[in-house]
Amino acid sequence: MAEVQTSLAAQLSKKTKFSGFKTWIVGDTPIITHAWSEKAKREMLQKQVKATKAGKEARDPQSDFVSSLYEMGDGVYGFPATGVKNCILSAAHKDKGIARSGVMSALWINAEMVRVRPALAGAVCDMPLIRIHGSAPEMREDMVKIGAGLNKTANLAYRAQFTIWAMRITGRFNPAVVSEEALAFLIAESGFSAGLGEWRNERKGMFGAFHLADAEEERAWDNYAAGKGPLPVPASYQEAAE
């Protein structure tokens, strides 16, 4: 059986050549993260199992802020790799000659599996995250509407914002389905048309926009990530400060 498996693997390697890629995406506008809090998941589970409902806890904005972060340990934060891939896929369309279904199966994005605390004791929940590099997260306050239909009410949301940020995206793709040029186009296009996180362009907002880093920016962010250089401040932020 081992001999057959080796033969199949050899045939596969001849016909399917996956290419690796790595790039930086650099934020043009701040990114807002909104992870599901342990409290929200616990309340959801209690409702589904029809458990006795406890009294409503007092609002804790600081806890809401901390819970909105995707923690990776040692003061490092990330963003779901699934969100990044969905963002890239949003720019693909058969009318552009790049079918979404084809890109979905031909693109793999690397991520670190981080175990988060579940609502149900004993269950596991591993989340694929990509590290966010940049300025420290800040608490932001937003007016939001919660509820459905005509029953929506105004509320305050406290979430994390990374003002200056970038992510190093690595993975593999099948060049027989999506070329390197097409992949670069999809990443660049999605950064403008969709964005990442809350209140992104795709959701009628202006946050989470990004662009594909050029060679100089890649060097600057590589140095920063390795602890060998200062935080790279995008030109758009420098111009705004002036």
**Are the CB atoms for 44 and 36 separated by under 8 Å?**
no
1: confidence class by pLDDT, cuts 50, 70, 90: very low
Alpha-carbon span 218 to 208, nearest angstrom: 19
**Are the CB atoms for 72 and 42 separated by under 8 Å?**
no
- pLDDT of 200 higher than 60: yes
pLDDT tens string 121-153: 788 889 999 999 999 999 999 988 887 777 788
pLDDT tens string 148-195: 777 788 889 999 999 999 999 999 999 999 999 999 999 999 999 999
Reported pTM: 0.86
pLDDT tens string 71-118: 999 999 999 999 999 999 999 999 988 999 999 999 999 999 999 888
pLDDT tens string 13-47: 556 689 999 999 999 999 999 997 667 666 676 67
Query: What integer pLDDT is reported at residue 51 of this predicted model?
Result: 64
